Amino acid sequence: MSGQNRTRTNLFIDIGIFLAFLLIMMPRLTGISIHEWLALAFAGTIVVHLLFHWEWIVGVAPQFFARLIHESRLNFVIDLFFFLALVMLIVSGFAISKVVLPALGLSLPFSVIWKQVHKTAADAALIALGLHCGMHVKWIAQNGKRHIVAPIAALFKKSAIASESAGGK
């Protein structure tokens, strides 16, 4: 895949998981069934997201202790915190599951503790998502402009030229 195609794929995956996360954060709006199945699909997409950024992950990890103040280092800490919050979310989600687990023929006794862990992990993940997006705001703005705003603007320009030349006839 060429560099720009890869960036565009990354951008669309990132927008997809961002919107999915916001929907998953509103189980009262979506209902528990959509919440659980969407969260499962979300977990799979996170693995794809990590694989697409694998070179960055293995590139930064060895340098972690090399320099004290470094932007990548802060990113690494935020991303690690985000990842651990997501793992806790998925694990605790399974522990309190009302739909996915029974669909797999499994059931666990209700636990107030797992429910609290799920709530706390959701809050932590939301904060981490804000920081994660904040740290990548330049990349989001640059590529959002290049791969979303510019193609839409070009479409409008094309249809304006087409209607102008149709009106001129």
CB of 89 to ligand HEM, least distance (A): 4
Q: Which residue, among 76, 55, 50, has the nearest Cα to 3 in the 3D structure?
A: 55
Single out the residue of 7, 10, 13, 27 in contact with ligand HEM (rule: CB under 6 A): 27
Q: Indicate whether 82 belongs to the interface with ligand HEM (CB under 6 A).
A: no
The CA-CA-CA angle for residues 150, 7, 21, to 5°, reads 90
Residue 161 to residues 68, 149, 157: CA-CA distances in angstroms?
55, 18, 6
Q: Indicate whether 16 belongs to the interface with ligand HEM (CB under 6 A).
A: no
CA dihedral 48, 54, 56, 58 (to 10 degrees): 150
Single out the residue of 24, 78, 117, 129 in contact with ligand HEM (rule: CB under 6 A): 24
Tokens of 72: 């990548």
Binding flags for ligand HEM, 91-120, as an x/- string (CB under 6 A): --xx-xxx-x--------------x--xx-
What contacts 157, CB < 8 A, 6 or more positions away?
Answer: none
Q: Indicate whether 14 belongs to the interface with ligand HEM (CB under 6 A).
A: no
Footprint on this chain of ligand HEM (rule: CB under 6 A): 21, 24-25, 27, 32, 35-36, 39-40, 42, 89-90, 93-94, 96-98, 100, 115, 118-119, 122, 125
